[in-house]
Amino acid sequence: MKQKKTGNIILLALAAFMAILLAYSNHFDNSFHFDDDHTIVNNPAIRDIDIYKFIVDGKTISTLPTNQSYRPYLTIENAINLKLSGDGGTRVFHIHIFITHILVCILLYFLTKIILEKSGFQGRKEYWALLVATSFGLLCANAETVNYIFQRAEIDSAMFVLAGLLAYLAGGTWKKYHLYLIFPLIGFFAKEMTFVFAPLLLLYLLIFEENMDLLRFYKSEEFKKLKRSLIKTLPSIFLTVGYYIFYKIMIPDTWTTGGDNTSSYNYLITQPFVICHYLVTYLIPYNLSADTDWKVFTSITDNRAITGIILLAGVIFLALKTSKNKKTRVISFGLLWFLISLLPTSSIMPYAEVLNDHRCYIPYLGLGIAVIFGIKFFIDKFFPNAYTSNNGKKTLAVIILLFLGGNAFGVYQRNKVWHNDLTLWSDVTEKSPENGRGWMNYGVALMQVAEFEKAETALLRAASFNPTYSYIYINLGILKGAAGDPKEAEIYYKKAIDCRNFEHVAWYYYGHFLLSAERYSEAETALLKALEYVPDYYSARVDLLQIYLKLEEWQRLREAVTTFSLSYPNDPMTIIYNQLLNSKQPLQK
């Protein structure tokens, strides 16, 4: 009988894997998007796999100073995948990410099974754990994270958080010598989201080992449980604090969250409504957008802010209330997992975007547990015969299949949206019509297919929503240059510089424009200006090499190549220009 059950669960697990594979079958050749451009496509630092450099130099992750966070594990992954891809395509990246996503589902299965055992769950734990893992694997809201290559870091973090928890729960040598900490430590190098490991471990201890009534934490007996759990969590807390200090030392000074001009207070009062949006999106992924046009609320009296605060307070109360009852502890664990793991991006630290669907990858691990066992609790209480009657079994099977099938269909459709820049940004302008960046990127995508009139319309619309965003005018300059209107192009480049944001990019593109117009002296001035902001700006340095070569300024070219070689010793440009220098007689005097 036991062998039969084992055989059934294996068959169902294989069916679940095939369902997830089919849902994502059309995504393996989807394009690079968003941050992929400056972290992978145009990032010379990852053309060679230099693990030591990736670990000691956070700048290797991106060519944009404001995006140079410290995530060496992610940089190593991207460098290896780029090398394996050969032609620079995305297939290797997507295969690697998909495998990691499947590993997360497998780890989630085992974690769910263990917490069901700890909670004294009566029923077929393997089947319920498989349902949790499958629903997460097929969740439509996760499609963005699986498709968006740079955000693979969310999946990496999830994998190491789950692996660390499972290693702790395995006990023995893992727990005795604190070897379980190896997994979150590696995860820290992938993304800061792994910092949630310690609070999630504490949450597990409070609910499943101490059986704490979280709603009455202030009582003497409950407070003792909290104290015992905190002591057990201390190794992970010390590790997190220690790494955070190291992280602050290693992260480049130029990195920002992107929300420098956003009030922490305004961001905070917006997040309860954002969290409610995430809750709804889990159940009904009705309006997924890769780049939303949501803005922070300016007042706490805003109806949306009030609604969000009330609903969030209700969710928190429910999460604390359900911790007391043995039958509902799993629900409490899942809801609090969801809320705790949203704290890094949904609290007082403002980010450039008010919300992003990929931020929910780790939170949805917990929310899935809460939703599934919340529904089960409801059925147990109000429809106790649902699991035994034929009609009840059929109804439950239909509901499960509709939920899984609907999400699988949604994933397949979202993959189509993420196919290339044109499909993605067209979708963004439909879902988020007031997003200036969305219209700008749609205009760039239209430029790439030579739809210049439509591209200009899109870019001008972007400027109407975000009139001080320099990238819009840079792209208008590129558009006018391609259309053979250099006078108008120059006006736009100068306007981009006047915006006083992303100055290094604005000066670079203006210099590149002047170089193409053979205005070498002016081009050099503009490019040197770009390098004042970002001394290691790869593209600006390459253009300077070209200027000195065109002018036959051999000594200056030699000096520029020497400087360039220090940062990019194995770069093709280093090799080419050194060969050119070695062939010139004036250098041999």
Contacts of 179-184 with CB under 8 Å at 24 or more apart are: 181/235, 181/236, 181/239, 184/160, 184/236, 184/239, 184/240
Residues 6+ apart with CB under 8 A from 587: 554, 555, 558, 581
CA dihedral 431, 432, 434, 439 (to 10 degrees): -90
Report residue 4 as tokens: 């039969």
Question: Could you tell me how far CA 317 lies from the centroid of its own chain?
Answer: 29
Domain residue ranges of the chain, discontinuous segments joined by +: 2-417
CA distances from 69 to 93, 250, 504, 531 (A): 20, 9, 18, 20
Q: Which two three-digit tokens encode residue 83?
A: 């090398």
Handedness of CA 369, 370, 375, 380 (dihedral sign): positive
Which residues, 6+ apart, have CB-to-CB distance to 441 below 8 Å? 291, 421, 424, 425, 428
Among positive and negative, which fits the CA dihedral 60, 62, 67, 71?
negative
For 60, residues 6+ apart whose C-beta sits below 8 A from its C-beta are 43, 45, 46, 50, 53, 54, 72, 75
In the 8-state DSSP scheme, what is residue 351? B
How far is Cα 527 from Cα 514, in angstroms, rounded to an integer? 10
Model's pTM, two decimal places? 0.93
DSSP code of residue 31: P
- Cβ proximity of 335 and 352 under 8 Å: no
Strand partners, 258: 351
Distance, in Å, from the CA atom of 328 to the CA atom of 374, rounded to the nearest integer, reads 8
State the pLDDT at residue 586.
Answer: 46
The CA radius of gyration of the chain, in Å to the nearest whole number, is 27
From residue 21, give the alpha-carbon distance in Å to each of 11, 16, 101: 15, 9, 11
pLDDT of residue 390: 86
What residues have CB less than 8 Å from 224, skipping those under 6 apart? none
Q: How far is CA 402 from CA 17, 70, 138, 408, in A?
A: 17, 42, 12, 10
Q: What is the pLDDT of residue 125?
A: 92
If one counts every other C-beta atom within 10 angstroms of the C-beta of residue 110, the result is 17
Work out the widest C-alpha separation in the chain, in whole angstroms. Answer: 96
d(CA 515, CA 490) in angstroms, rounded, equals: 12
> Which stretches in the chain have pLDDT values below 70?
1-5, 585-589
Q: Give the span between the Cα atoms of 269 and 509, in whole angstroms.
A: 38
Q: What is residue 333's predicted lDDT score, i.e. its pLDDT?
A: 97
Measured CA to CA, the distance from residue 35 to residue 66 in angstroms comes to: 12
